[in-house]
Amino acid sequence: MSAAAPPVFVLGVGAQKGGTTWLHRYIAQAPGTDTGRLKEYHVWDARYLPDCARFRVPLWQVPHPKAWLRWRMQRSDAAYFDYFAHRLARPGVHLTADITPSYSGLPTEALARIAEGFAARGIAVRVVFLMRDPVQRCWSAIRMTRRQGKPQGGTAQDLSEEQALEAHAFGAYAGLRTRYDLTLARLEQVFAPEALHVGLYETLFQPDSLARLSGFLGLPPDPDFARHRFNVSDKTAPVSSDLQARIARHYADVYRDCARRFPGIEAHWPGFAHL
């Protein structure tokens, strides 16, 4: 008789505006899963990334239950690993997850600590990285923050959409979330190919992509759930072709690396037309 498969922890590392909310909800609604109290736990980014220091929970917020949970995890590796191990110890549960898009910027040291911490508890780590055309990802991020009234990455609410996108796309905040080439290189230093799933937002909801993702996660495919969309924002203002071209050229290394890794990606990312 073969040994039972180990329980699974899914580490979602972005990209922001690349379908991570859909991914979390797809996992959470599947049988045998328990993702805990949060979608984005913001533990490792708060520790390792200066750009994400705002996610560190201050002491005055600790009385709030969710803040208390995050505060403990940000200060103790054991608290993080044990929390998810407890989720997996519940009857019938075999998969849990932390889907935090800004983990795309984590250094290899942090990724290795995550892998080692779960391995010590007999838990398999499966990493999911969803990518989106860099120009469109930046543009969607701007629409989101403007809609929420919480501009980030050097933008201001009173700028036009074009001005806000220009202020955002070339900065470190956007770079952390858009340099897929660097994210992939770091992930591959820590995780074996069979533990890493890379998908495209542009094809995420297609039957073959959904089947591949579901198989990787060990979940039954749910094609009906592909009809759901979350946090989608329609384009409400034009952005010049010149600005889109300059953003594409700024991320030329990303486009080149992804074209090398994923033949045919040019058909799905309109930014290639500007290179």
Report the predicted TM-score, pTM, of the whole model to 2 decimal places. Answer: 0.94
The separation between CA 260 and the C-alpha centre of its own chain, rounded to angstroms, equals: 22
Sign of CA dihedral 13, 204, 135, 271: positive
The separation between CA 250 and the C-alpha centre of its own chain, rounded to angstroms, equals: 21
Per-residue pLDDT at 240: 96
Buried b (16+ CB within 10 A) or exposed e, 124-141: bbbbbbbbbbbbbbbbbb
Q: pLDDT tens digit string along 16-55? A: 999 999 999 999 999 999 999 999 999 999 999 999 999 9
- CATH topology classification for 8-274: Rossmann fold (3.40.50)
- Phi first, then psi: what are they for 95, rounded to 5°? -145, 140
Per-residue pLDDT at 2: 41
- Phi first, then psi: what are they for 47, rounded to 5°? -80, -40
Q: pLDDT tens digit string along 166-217? A: 999 999 999 999 999 999 999 999 999 999 999 999 999 999 999 999 999 9
Count other C-beta atoms under 10 Å from residue 27's C-beta: 23
Q: What average pLDDT is seen over the chain?
A: 93
Q: Which parts of the chain are beta strand (E)?
A: 8-12, 95-99, 124-131, 196-200
- Phi first, then psi: what are they for 235, rounded to 5°? -75, 125
Buried b (16+ CB within 10 A) or exposed e, 258-272: beeeeeebeeebebb
Structure tokens at 224: 């009906």
Share of the chain above pLDDT 70, in %: 92
Sign of CA dihedral 195, 198, 204, 210: negative
**Taking Cα atoms as reference points, which of 27, 162, 29, 148 lies closest to residue 97?**
27
What are the domain boundaries of the chain? 8-274
**Across 73-93, average pLDDT:** 98
Contact, 30 vs 10, CB < 8 A?
A: no
Q: Which parts of 107-239 are beta strand (E)?
A: 124-131, 196-200
Give yes or no for residue 1 having a pLDDT over 50.
no
**Strand ordering across the sheet containing 196-200:** 95-99, 8-12, 124-131, 196-200
Whether a cis peptide bond, with omega within 30° of 0, leads into 124 is no
